[in-house]
Amino acid sequence: MSQVYHGRGYVYSIQYHIVWCVKYRHKILDTIRENKLKEILNKIAKDNQFTILLINGDLDHIHLLIECSPQHYIPDIMKALKGVSARLMMKQYPQLKRKLWGGHLWNPSYFVATVSENTEEQIRNYINSQKEK
């Protein structure tokens, strides 16, 4: 069950399930790149003061379960996660630029859904099962 936090004059528990894909659905997130991406995403979350509870994905997409405060705005979170991670991944793996012409690592769209205590376990199981398909 998610934790309940207390702010100044409010109480909250906010979690989101977020998914986005590699541009052109290219299968580039092998184990080494995925581990580097996880490290980068956790650093971005720390810098932006939200928490990544769970990360997993497959070769062409990534799933996150995040927890944040009411002050966080999803488009800003996505801009930070996708923009910074793309820049750092392209810097770390310059060969990706040749495979993903145009220099874009991520598809511009994403999926986001709120998570309740009724759905949290289902979403955690779904994210953890990504490589089992």
Active-site residue list? 126
**Rounded CA gap, 16 and 120, in Å?**
10
The tokens 């977020």 sit on which residue?
18
Structure tokens belonging to residue 61: 């997409």
**Phi/psi at 41 (nearest 5 deg)?**
-65, -40
Task: Tell me which amino acid residue 123 is.
Answer: I
Distances (CA, A) of 110 to 43, 78, 113, 119: 20, 8, 10, 20
**Phi/psi at 11 (nearest 5 deg)?**
-125, 140
E strands, 29-107, in order = 51-58, 61-68
